[in-house]
Amino acid sequence: MSTSRDDPMTDTLTLLFAAPPADWAEYEAPLTDAFARAGFAARIVTATDRPETIDYIIYAPSGPVSDFTPFTRTRAVLSLWAGVERIVTNPTLTQPLVRMVDPEGLSQGMAEWVTGHVLRHHLGIDRQILHQDGTWDPVVPKLAPDRAVTVLGLGELGAVAAAALARLGFRVSGWSRHPRDLDGVTCHHGPDGLSRALRGAEIVVLLLPLTPATENLIDAGRLALLARDAVILNPGRGGLIDDHALIAALDAGHLAHATLDVFRTEPLPPEHPFWAHPRITVTPHVAAATRPGSAARRIAETVALAEAGHPLPHLVDRTTGY
């Protein structure tokens, strides 16, 4: 299988947009424009009866492709999502898999969601609004340097979110599988580091990938390490938290609140207890939505690098799952 072309400027690439059909209306113009600006003649199709002609697959879960075996010419599968747990274990996927890393869209969106909800809980905004019943009962919050915030996961999204919180003056700790060094963030790693990062934390932000090693990572024992009246924010993956342990900690008063953007089943079923719990806020998986304009530019840049013979950026490691 060839990995580059002698003259990518003159050859026409064929790409399959293997995402839910409704997404094509948003992506058609940005992708066409991005490839034109990158200098490629690209033919983007939404279906094919000749999979052996496809050079690249632009992929999102719930799209039309689940068997990658016929795509013998395909150089890479380019995910539109940052999370790849729904494809990385597919046994038919032998092509390189590239996850979406988009500082303009995903990273900026995540940083805004995280800082917004951290500030919401830090300032006690919900309490101030809900208590406007005619009584004058001001709530004076701590200042940011006195608030311990922990970010679990210091990859592309977690690092940006932790840095944004540090710039606001919060006392930020972070945890990752491997050692990291971030300005303004006390970084921990490994099993012992996880306990140190959680112990006494008042606000915890979960930005880890979902893997066998991270599923149910936040269980009853780890929730007990947090400061009393701590808050959990989960814009990462629903399976990171033991749902039953979370509800028990909220009911016991050890946790003050949980703001959740991701769930084991999405959309969150109407009968799920999270909806009615007074200490849980549900948001509809919007923390780091893929923006078609910037995502299209990342896709075109990745293809340009591959066609020039350079290594694929943000290549997924199948052994770790991200």
Give the chain's count of helices (H) and strands (E).
9, 12
* C-alpha–C-alpha distance, residues 71 and 73, integer Å: 6
Q: How many Å from the N-terminal Cα to the C-terminal Cα in the chain?
A: 24
Concatenate the DSSP letters of all residues of 273-322 into one string.
HHHH-TTEEE--S-TTPPPHHHHHHHHHHHHHHHHTTPPPTTB--TTTT-
CB-hemisphere CA count at 13 Å for 272? 17
Tell me phi and psi for residue 32, to 5 degrees: -60, -45
Q: Which residues are catalytic?
A: 237, 285
Cα–Cα nearest to 20, from 62, 53, 82, 49: 62
Contact criterion met (CB below 8 Å) for 190 and 166: no
Provide the 3-class DSSP secondary structure of residue 57: strand
